[in-house]
Amino acid sequence: MLEINNLHAELETDADVTILKGLTLSIKPGEVHAIMGPNGSGKSTLSYVLSGKDGYSVTAGSAMLEGVDLLEMEPEERAAAGLFLAFQYPVEIPGVGNMTFLRTAVNAQRKARGEEELSAGDFLKEVRAKAKDLQIDADMLKRPVNVGFSGGEKKRNEILQMAMLEPKMCILDETDSGLDVDAMKLVADGVNALRSENRSFLVITHYQRLLDHIKPDFVHILADGKIIKSGGPELALEVENNGYADILAGAA
Amino acid sequence: MALAKLKQDATLARLAGITLPEGATWATAARSDALARLSAMGLPTRRDEYWRYTDPASLIVADAPPAALFDNGEAPLFAGVDRIALVFVDGVFDAAQSDDLAGAGIEIHRLADVAQRDIHWAKDLYGTLESRGQHPVERPLAALNTAIASDGIVIRATAKVQKPVHLVYLHQSETSDVTLHNLVRIEAGASLTLLETGPGAARLSTCLEVDIADAGQFHHIRAQGSDHERRAVTHCFAQLAAESVFKSFTLTFNGVLTRNECVIDMRGDDAVAHVAGACVGDGGDFHHDDTVFVTHDALRGESRQVFKKVLRNGAVGVFQGKILVKQGAQKTDGYQISQSLLLDDDSQFLAKPELEIYADDVACSHGSTTGAIDETALFYLRSRGVPMEAARNLLTLSFLAEALAEIEDQALAEELQTRLEGWLARRA
């Protein structure tokens, strides 16, 4: 599904700051991978570089989604190709209703893929059903995108977008940050409901907590722009119990 | 105050060529008074405080600069609304295209007719609010309008009027120079919605005087159309009695020069006045100026000014807004916001918000911002698959949404929203 090979990226504004230093990762259809790592290891940068945010330049390496070069595409083309990033800090957009936003996004992607746009009625039916599962009420759908939403509401709104857009490759950037236990469970249930043999996940997190709910197939430790250790779910437990120090020392 | 010689000479030279329209005694008196006011004030120049950001020269010259016609192929605005349409073609009333000058709970006349009559309620209003609105800030072009306007529409609402009155200003001559003066009187407890759509002329001057009695309501929705080279100067003077409501919204696109002045006098307690505007401008010859003056002279008045401008390719936007709270106007609630979205580095927004408060128990706030498209929001939209151009347009519309939200009638607001979407699409 996603093949990242020897990816190097630096800040566009400061070529001296290299953040990703040869990251390699292969995710197969249906797999859930988790990336953990200390602050500043490059976790969020990885999500931004993959989704095409301005401000980073890729100096070496590649990232392919189902054989297509992601790095050559505009952010909206990556989305239409099936990539989705659940933001760590979902953006507030005053003046744009959540429904309008969702419908514009869904139809833009369908159009880009040469599919027919969803009718207003079908869209409404689908969004209502999916919102209900995530306990998103009608009021939240009507309000401007993320404006006045609590931390939990924002994250649930991200998952609703994911559910509506039905991407192939989902990246969750610290989706657990700012969530209480109940909200995390709700979000995790939403993600788990979307797991399928054709859809893959890359879960970026600081803590093992989220991985209790979204069980990963593989866990990777990212440090200083590289994956320094990979393993199964037990690796996340090791981090939880001993911190990163041992692993970092072992890799050095 | 003695006028500077140069200004006086220029004013006299310009006014020498003017012949006042003929009419009944009261009309002639009102026009002569206006001309005298104008002579005393002098025509504006950029040296005047309220014309520092907008050059009035092309609004004043004897021969209006010509303006090419522009047809974007869109259907006329509000054509689907059940309304009383009154059509002016380059300032000339077109009875054939207009509906009957009649409706339930309403009296409608042409100014050209009532100005010939010895007795008509219009004589108490014509030039009265304009004259009073000359202090503390002079508005010479409004006095010029009162002096030379020979036609316009005069409306008196005596009940809650269901059908909006729609003044349609059509522009068909590239050299038309038009002056129209409209009067609206809302009797106690009555209400009226007035729609105005233009461009109207190569150069259009309109003056609207609105007198709202106790608990009357006046809703005003205006679209200043899309001819690129047109010029317009508009004045609205409103007087609000107790518990009355005044709400005005203006959408402006294109036009090389637009100056919209709105002067509101809140004289009765518990009155409400909202003035809002959205404008979109493209190109270095686009210049749009909103100048608003709200005077609170009664208890518990609520006023709102909400102005949003989207500017690109060197377009210039101006906002001069003032809230004056007079002594004794306690519990006034005054709000003012002016914001611009600059889509590039060449465009310019000039804002002069003013508060002047002489009462000690009031809540007044104002704000003014200038910004670019929010890059974070842009990326967020694109990451969801919305293409760059569509995402920019969505954010541009969202910026304007707060001003459009000031329109109470949802259907009318949506029609204007559609026009904005069309404008953005044409510029993609």
Per-residue pLDDT tens digits for B71-85:
888 889 999 999 999
Q: Are A51 and A202 in contact (CB under 8 A)?
A: no
Domain total in chain A: 1
The number of residues in chain B equals 428
For residues B18 and B232, which has the higher predicted lDDT (pLDDT)?
Answer: B232
Least confident window among A107-121, B169-183, B203-217, B270-284? A107-121
Answer yes or no: is pLDDT of B375 > 60. yes
> In the predicted model, is pLDDT for residue B3 greater than 90?
no
User: Which structural domain, as residue segments, surrounds residue A221?
Assistant: 2-251
- List chain A pLDDT tens, one digit each, 252 residues: 999 999 999 888 887 788 889 999 999 999 999 999 888 888 889 999 999 999 999 999 999 999 999 999 999 999 999 999 999 999 999 889 999 999 999 999 999 889 999 888 999 999 998 898 888 888 888 899 999 998 888 999 999 999 999 999 999 998 888 888 888 888 898 899 999 999 999 999 988 888 888 999 999 999 889 999 999 988 888 888 888 887 887 765
* Alpha carbon distance A39, A23 (integer Å): 17
Is 90 exceeded by the pLDDT of residue B4? Answer: no
Helix axes B375-383, B388-404, angle to 10 degrees: 120
**In angstroms, rounded to a whole number, what is the distance separating the alpha carbons of residues A120 and A104?**
11
Q: What is the pLDDT of residue A252?
A: 55
- Is B399 within 8 Å of chain A by CB? yes
- The reported pLDDT for the residue numbered A246 is 79
What pLDDT, on the 0 to 100 scale, is given for residue B16?
87
Beta carbons of B384 and A101 less than 8 Å apart: yes
B401 and A CB contact within 8 Å: yes
Decide if A75 and B379 are in contact by the 8 Å CB cutoff: yes
Residue B302 pLDDT greater than 60, yes or no = yes
Report the pLDDT value the prediction gives residue A206, as an integer from 0 to 100.
Answer: 83
The region, left, alpha or beta by phi > 0 then psi within -120 to 50, assigned to residue B250 is beta
With beta carbons less than 8 A apart as the criterion, state whether B273 and B301 touch.
Answer: yes
Interface test with B, best of A47, A50, A78, A91 (most B CBs within 10 A): A91
Residue B288 CA, distance from chain mean position: 11
Six token digits for residue A211: 């991985």
Chain A hits for B375, CB-CB cut-off 8 Å, are: 54
Instruction: Find the CB nearest A95 among B386, B391, B398.
Output: B398
Mean pLDDT of B259-283: 97
Closest by alpha carbon to B328, among B274, B273, B269, B272? Answer: B269
Question: How far, in Å, CA of B277 to CA of B256, rounded?
Answer: 17
Instruction: Give the pairing of strands A18-27 and A2-11.
Output: antiparallel
Does the beta-carbon distance from B385 to A54 stay under 8 Å?
no
- List the domain boundaries for chain B: 5-10+32-373
Share of residues in chain B with pLDDT > 90 (%): 87
Q: Using CB atoms, which residue from B375, B376, B386 is nearest to A76?
A: B386
Is the minimum CB–CB distance between B95 and chain A shorter than 8 Å? Answer: no
Give me the pLDDT at residue B324, please.
98
Closest residue, chain B, to A81 (C-alpha): B385
**From CA B261, how far away is CA B154, in angstroms rounded?**
20
**Mean pLDDT on B125-147:** 97
pLDDT of residue B107: 97
In this prediction, residues B376-382 reach a mean pLDDT of 96
Dist. CA A228–CA A247, nearest whole Å: 8
> In CATH, what number is assigned to the domain containing residue A245?
3.40.50.300
Q: What pLDDT sits at residue B197? A: 96
CA distance B279 to B265: 25
Burial A203-218 (b: 16+ CB within 10 A, else e): bbbbebebbebbebeb
The model's confidence at residue B48, banded by pLDDT at 50, 70 and 90, is very high
| Higher per-residue pLDDT: A178 or B26 | B26
Residue type, B282: D
Start-end of H helices in chain A: 43-51, 75-80, 98-112, 120-133, 138-142, 151-165, 181-194, 209-213, 234-242, 245-251
Average pLDDT, integer, range B164-182: 96
Interface contact flag, A76 B397, Cβ < 8 Å: no
The closest CB to that of B377, out of A53, A76, A91, belongs to: A91
pLDDT tier at B335, thresholds 50, 70, 90: very high
pLDDT value of position B426: 84
pLDDT band of residue B280 (cuts 50, 70, 90) is very high
- Overall average pLDDT of the B204-221 stretch: 98
B residues 365-384 closer than 8 Å to A (CB): 374-377, 379-384
CA torsion sign for B49, B50, B53, B57 is negative
Of B270 and B4, more confident: B270
User: What gap in Å lies between CA B255 and CA B228, rounded to an integer?
Assistant: 4
- Give the per-residue pLDDT at B2: 65
